[in-house]
Structure 1
């Protein structure tokens, strides 16, 4: 499954009955709940990374990606916009890119 395909499925669930879909249920609770769930999954992934459990990290990473896409959908941010931002940054040094965002006073 590609991220595009997963995001399309998540967008379809925005109009689904929350009783019939976990994604629809989560989306119906609003952006705050979606963000909270994303944060929980990110912490779980961090824990597995620190523990060095590759299999558990793989599963948690999948959860993180899914919940990131749900959060984006809840906030009406299109995956294409996120990918375009990554594309924009592609030929820029990470150090230079960060300096461009955070200028010291």
Structure 2
């Protein structure tokens, strides 16, 4: 990758790798293939675990002012959420499209529209 961070490219490449590992990855050689092999409940367990670790890191960051661990834990959470999406046949394109749809809405309007 280049030194310029292209978030959509990173997400797209990761989506591609996740789909490949789901389709043909060896659970003995690939963590992602192993998660897919173990099924949705295991993936959800990891998402929950990473969410908890992210929350704890945020509390630590608030006290210390250092967000390094928070960034790492958030990356883990995002990664496992992406595995979950992949497992269910979706990807970050769908999430980004939904975020784009919400972009010009106020948060309160968007939330009310889901009721």
Q: How does 1:1-105 map to 2 (within 5 A)?
A: 2-14=10-22, 15-52=24-61, 53-102=66-115
> SS of the residue aligned with 1:91?
coil
After superposing the two structures, state which structure 1 stretch, 42-51 or 74-83, moved more. Answer: 74-83
Give the number of aligned pairs: 102
With normalisation by structure 2, the TM-score equals 0.83
With normalisation by structure 1, the TM-score equals 0.90
4+ residue segments displaced more than 6 Å: none
Deviations 1:44-103 (A, max 9, x none): 01001001141111110110111010010111123211111111111111110111112x
Structure 2 unaligned segments of length 5 or more: list them.
1-8
Provide the C-alpha distance between the structure 1 equivalents of 2:43 and 2:54, rounded to a whole number of angstroms: 17
How large is the Cα RMSD of the aligned pairs? Answer: 1.3
